[in-house]
Each structure stands twice: as structure tokens, then as C-alpha cells.
Structure 1
Amino acid sequence: MGRPRKALLDRERIGATALELVDEKGDFSVPEVARRLGVQTASVYHHVDGRAGVIELLRERITDAIDPGTLSDVPWDTALERWARSYRAAFAAHPRTIPMLMTSPIRAPRVLAQYESVAGLLSEAGFAPSLVLPVITGLDNIVLGSALDMSAPDTMWEVSEGAEAPRLAAAQAATSPSRADQAFDLTLAGFLGHCRDLLRTGPHQAP
């Protein structure tokens, strides 16, 4: 019998299967990934370093959907805004991965390469080294929080008859279906405005 043209198991299939599980139920285990692929758990461990390794495959798959070209050939603040929007769209497609990825160290080389580009952009713009990670972390918080918000119910504040919240009810009644997008635009604009102020006023050091 000839050898199969394609390997039965590889990192690509492991990552894709783990992402399917997380999209479906919010988590995965390595044995579950193995069962869905029809292989032994030990076979999965042959390709990845346990659960942490699979998490990095998830991170790579989602980050690959972020357009790195958004960081090129434009002023730093325009580049950050474009990158943030692409970043948000990538994670909005898989919101159940966010709690897992936000609480795990980033190790995947392809993902680190994108953050290296952002760090370089900020450094070249004039931000001090002590401010680069606070700015990146702040942008992460805005983007990932908004990506989660995009999967939330349209009505987040249910004001029942017994609740005394007339102004909240009126505000909710006046809110458009694009609330999540409006909130993201508002928060991102404020964040970038503050970053511009940091560069204008100096000193460019984290407090």
C-alpha cells in the first residue's frame, strides 16, 4: 500500500479542530481534540506542547486574519486605528476564544511578529519604552472588550416594570442597533486622542 499523500495529523488540523470546539462550547481539552480528529491523545502531543501549545495554535489562526498591512505607509495613529479595526473583526468572529487567550502568555512567533511591528511603530513615533506596552495593552483591552460586546444581546439592560430607571430605559430606547460599533468608535477615538496628547505634552514616560 502506497504512503498517503497528506499527513493524517498536523498542527493546522489540530488548531482548526480546537477552534471548532471553542466556537461551539467555549473551551477544549486535548483528548477532545484527539477524539474529533480520530487519533490517540498521544498523537496530538507529538505535534504540540500540551494545552498551552494548542492555545498558541488558536492564537495564530485568529491573528492570521489581522491585516499586517494596516501598519504600513501611514502616520502612527492612522496605522493603529486601522490595525485595531482589523484586529477587532478577527476576534469578533471567534469571541469565545478571548477569555482563554487574554489570560495566557503570548508565545507564537507569528503573533509576536505583529506586536513587534506595533512596538516599532510606537517607538518610531516617539513613545518612550516605558509607554509602549501600556499603549499596546490599552488597545488590546479596547479591541477585545469590543469584540466580546459584538456577541452580546442587543438589549443588555432589561428595565422591568418594578425597576426605577426611567433615564436608562429612555437611553436604551433611543439607542441604535449599531450601539457596539458606536461605543467602539467613541472609545478608540478617545484613546488615540490621549495618546496624541502624550506625544505633544511629554515627558513620554509611564506614570
Structure 2
Amino acid sequence: MGRPRTPLLDRERIGATALELIDEQGEFSVPQVARRLGVQTGSVYHHVDGRAGVVELVRERVSASIDTATLGLRPWDAALTAWARSYRAAFAAHPHAIPLLMTSPVRAPKVLRQYEQAVRLLLDTGFPMAEVMTVITALENLVLGSALDLAAPETMWELPPDSPGTENLARALAATGTGRADAAFELALDAFVNHCRVRLAPPAPHSGRPAHSGPAASADSRP
């Protein structure tokens, strides 16, 4: 019997299967991946460096949906905003993967190259080297938290009828329209980008002589 034209096992199939399991049950194990693929667990380890290697295949698969062309847009704030929206959409499609990927070090080469693009964008814009990763981490916290929020119920607060002491909360909930998660994300993203603009702005020049008080001021005013 000849060898099958399509390999029974490769890194792409391993990553896809692990992501399927995560989407279904919120977690995966290498033996589960092997069983679903109809192979021995040891066969999976021939293609990846342990469970951490499978996690990175999952990261690559989820991140592949992020439009990295957004990082080439100009001005910088348009690029950062578009990247954040695409990033959120990619991870919102797989919310169960977020806790796993947020708590595992990033090693996947394709994903690291995307971070390199983001770092270069911020450096070219004028952010100090020491602040670049802080800006990226803060943006990711916003994006991934909002991606989880998209998987939550539209209404996260359930008040019993005539609930005492929550009258203002009830009115605020009644006044809230649909698309709560999207509206909250856009508000937070706008605030984040505006804060970045402020940090980039040069300090305002001092006008006039510095103010003095007390005896020194009187002495300076003498002819």
C-alpha cells in the first residue's frame, strides 16, 4: 500500500484540533488531540515541543486572523486603532483560548514578527524605548478583556423586581442601548489612544520668568 497523499499528522492539523477542543471545552490535552486525530500521543510529540508547543500552534492559528496590514497605516493612531479592532475580532472568535494564551509566554515566530511590527510603529512614532512594551501590554489588556466581554451576555446585571437600593442602576440599565460591549470597547480605545497622544506631545514651554514668593521676590523686584 502506498503512502497517503495527505499526511495523517502535521503541525497545522495539530493546532487546528487543539483549538477545536479549546472552543468546545475551554482546555485541551495532548492525548485528547491525539485521540481526535486517530494517532498515538507520541506521534504528536514528534511534531511539537510538548504541550507548550501545541499552545503556540494555537496562538499562531488565532493570531493569523489579525490584519497585520493595519500596522502599516498612517498616521500612527489610525494604525494602532485598526490593529486593536482586528486583534479583538480575532480573539473574540475564540474566547476560551484567551485565558490560556494570556498566561503563556509568546514564542511563536509568526506572532513575534507581528509584535516586531507594532514595536517599530511605536518607535517610529516617537515613543521612548522604555515605554513601548508598556503601551503594547496596556492595549492588549484592553483588547483581550473586551474580547471576553463579547462572549458575555448582553445584559450582565440582573435585578429582581423592585430591588431596593438599586434604583439608579435600574435606570442606567434601562437607558443603555444594544451593543454594550462594542460601545464600551470603542470608548476605552478612544481614551487609550488619546492618552498616548498626550504622552507624545512635547511639554508646553514655560512663559515668562518663574514666579517667586517671599523675600526673594521682593529682592528681585528692586532696581
Assess if the C-alpha contact under 8 Å between 2:150 and 2:181 holds in 1.
yes
Alignment of 1:1-207 (within 5 A): 1-161=1-161, 162-201=163-202
Rounded to whole Å, the distance in 2 between the matches of 1:164 and 1:10 is: 59
- Cα displacement (A) at 1:55: 0.5
Rounded to whole Å, the distance in 2 between the matches of 1:109 and 1:166 is: 52
- Cα displacement (A) at 1:155: 1.3
Rounded to whole Å, the distance in 2 between the matches of 1:149 and 1:190 is: 18
Write the letter of the residue equivalent to 1:124. D
Structure with higher RCO (Cα < 8 A, 6+ apart): 1
**How large is the RMSD of aligned CA atoms in angstroms?**
1.0
Rounded to whole Å, the distance in 2 between the matches of 1:38 and 1:169 is: 53
> Residues 62 and 163 from structure 1, CA distance in 2 versus in 1: closer, same or farther, beyond 3 angstroms?
farther
- Cα displacement (A) at 1:163: 4.5
Instruction: Count residues in correspondence.
Output: 202
- Cα displacement (A) at 1:102: 0.3
User: Which of the pair has more CA radius of gyration?
Assistant: 2
- Cα displacement (A) at 1:73: 3.6
Rounded to whole Å, the distance in 2 between the matches of 1:103 and 1:73 is: 30
TM-score by length of 2: 0.89
Task: Report the 3-state secondary structure (helix = DSSP H, G, I; strand = E; otherwise coil) of the residue aligned with 1:95.
Answer: coil
- Provide, for residues 188-207 of structure 1, a one-character-per-residue CA deviation record: whole Å limited to 9, x for no partner: 000000000000046xxxxx
Assess if the C-alpha contact under 8 Å between 2:154 and 2:179 holds in 1.
no
- Provide, for residues 44-91 of structure 1, a one-character-per-residue CA deviation record: whole Å limited to 9, x for no partner: 011011110010001000111001111114111110000000001000
User: Any stretches of 5+ residues in structure 1 without a counterpart?
Assistant: 203-207
TM-score by length of 1: 0.95
> Residues 163 and 95 from structure 1, CA distance in 2 versus in 1: closer, same or farther, beyond 3 angstroms?
farther
Write the letter of the residue equivalent to 1:192. V
Task: Report the 3-state secondary structure (helix = DSSP H, G, I; strand = E; otherwise coil) of the residue aligned with 2:65.
Answer: coil
Rounded to whole Å, the distance in 2 between the matches of 1:126 and 1:134 is: 14
- Provide, for residues 116-162 of structure 1, a one-character-per-residue CA deviation record: whole Å limited to 9, x for no partner: 00000000100001110010000000100000000001110111244
Assess if the C-alpha contact under 8 Å between 2:70 and 2:83 holds in 1.
yes
Rounded to whole Å, the distance in 1 between the matches of 2:52 and 2:164 is: 45
> Residues 134 and 157 from structure 1, CA distance in 2 versus in 1: closer, same or farther, beyond 3 angstroms?
same
Rounded to whole Å, the distance in 1 between the matches of 2:39 and 2:56 is: 21
Please, which moves more after superposition, 56-65 or 193-202? 193-202
